[in-house]
Chain A
């Protein structure tokens, strides 16, 4: 059982987390949903498409516009409240590393804190515990938020991702976050070369074997672009290939830009794995 704030999901459900950026400069949407009304339209669209989770972010992951605490609060808190009011059944996640933001968005109705910078602010997991929110433990190898990777090196990147995320999960557990409300995320591209992200994908079964539910964030990232030599807007097919492999290895939550295509891939892989009945099968069975 996975408990994400007010919502629970059985262990055989593969969940789609749709990205909703309230940023001007995120690499893929380039500010398309920066305006609050545009972001709300995006939420309406992805919920209609079947996303179980929306992941609201106020700060671009990589270098870009300076977004201080006040600006991040301005971009996220009121918007979370609007989404909560209009969509009581959707899981609201907020992508932040700052505990002050975590506190305010949880009070406004967030269910999940997606700590994409891996415990950089140690008080964030305490906020999750206090509010009964879920928490994502991300592998960033101790990076500073928004710092691009440079000459990173691991003896074994999969071992490092497992050790760091499980350690963070145990810290969150000790702080009072419920066991069924913790996810681990190997964080493709974060403090990683493309080679590292490919190996993480290839060996994701080692991460799922820990028993902690795994979240993957693959969508249109540079490791796909470098692998296929394709610009940002042409990475969907590669993203879906990585999605299929991750689903085969047992990842549970998929943070994505394209909901419909992802859902089809997840449904297909789940049926191949035998954890989802096909929609309607009559071929050669009449």
Chain B
């Protein structure tokens, strides 16, 4: 991508707070997922001059103000979304030391194209998860529609099919299945079609909530 301008790479990554290693205690149930997400972020940022992170905000699944529950003293300060904190952490883990802008996205409405200087190579980090209703213990319990929905999302990400991804994000069940990607995927899909080809590098649902990692 060296020499190209505009958006030169995108990483689609989950926004689970379990990416913060200490939060799961002595166990690390998402080690493999974290590695995949960090790899995707690192690859997307290779050769870039800046990072734009698209951060879902809306609903209890994507809180706009999130506080680390393991802290021992109350913290006070400006609200920060869970997704922004996870995105920042993934960039740190990936060793990416570039100027980063965090854009709050709700229901796919954000328009960040004003942030994109066509003369600046920009990496996109797109936070968001799939359906959260795939098991009895899942945040949204069981909703059988989750399975077909997540399969379609995985296929769209693997094929870098922006129209399919935007359409899935805006389908009514995306809200009902607590899909946090519904906030950010349409925003990413409105990019000028500079990116070609996609690869899905990880998919899992250890807690009844689908995590997907992809690169465009």
Contacts and interface: CB of A to CB of B under 8 A. Distances in A.
A and B from one complex: yes
Interface of A: 274, 277-282, 284-286
Contacts of B23: 281, 285
B22 A277 contact: yes
Contact of A277 (B26, B207, B208): B26
A286 B19 CA distance: 10
Nearest to B132: A286
Interface hub of B26, B72, B138 (most chain A Cβ within 10 A): B26
Contacts of B17: 285
Interface residues of B, number: 19
Interface in B167-216: 206-209
16 contacts: A277-B22, A279-B26, A280-B24, A280-B25, A280-B26, A280-B27, A281-B23, A282-B24, A282-B29, A282-B207, A284-B139, A285-B17, A285-B18, A285-B23, A286-B132, A286-B138
Contacts of A285: 16-18, 23-24, 69
Contacts of A286: 16, 18, 132, 138-139, 206-209
A20 B209 CA distance: 50
Interface of B: 16-18, 22-27, 29, 69, 72, 132, 138-139, 206-209
Contacts of B25: 277-281
Chain B binding surface, main DSSP class: loop
B26 A278 contact: yes
Given A282-B18, A285-B18, 8 more contacts: A274-B72, A285-B17, A285-B23, A285-B24, A285-B69, A286-B18, A286-B207, A286-B208
Contacts of B29: 280, 282
A280 B23 CA distance: 9
Contacts of B72: 274
A142 B55 CA distance: 69
A282 B72 CA distance: 18
Contacts of B208: 286
A282 to B, nearest CB: 6
A277 B139 CA distance: 24
A281 to B, nearest CB: 5
A280 B30 CA distance: 11
Contacts of A280: 24-27, 29
Nearest to B29: A282
Nearest to A280: B27
B177 to A, nearest CB: 14
